[in-house]
Amino acid sequence: MEHFPEVIPERFQSHQISFREEAMAEDIQVKREIVLEADAETMERMRKEGHARGFTVYCDEGEHIGGDNSAPPPLAYFGLSLAF
């Protein structure tokens, strides 16, 4: 018959600790509500003005599709939001 040590080997200790941490994390429930409010209006041609949280942003399209290229296109803002 093999003798099993009473001390848990180090390679299993970290697993047990992380299991206990997961169990504790599952017991905590955080409820959050996120509300985004924004509005936009068309100016001239393809130019738009948007408002959110007191800030004003503009977007426009390039001249090759009917805009004046006076501000970044909407897709650029989307790309920036992913980068942030």
Predicted TM-score (pTM) of this structure = 0.58
Whole-number pLDDT of residue 15: 44
Query: In 3-state terms, what secondary structure has residue 55?
Result: strand
In tens, the pLDDT along 41-81 reads 999 999 999 999 999 999 999 999 999 999 999 999 999 99
Spans of all domains in the chain: 39-83
Question: What is the helix (H) or strand (E) element at residue 48, kind and residue range?
Answer: strand 48-52
In tens, the pLDDT along 21-42 reads 555 666 777 888 999 999 999 9
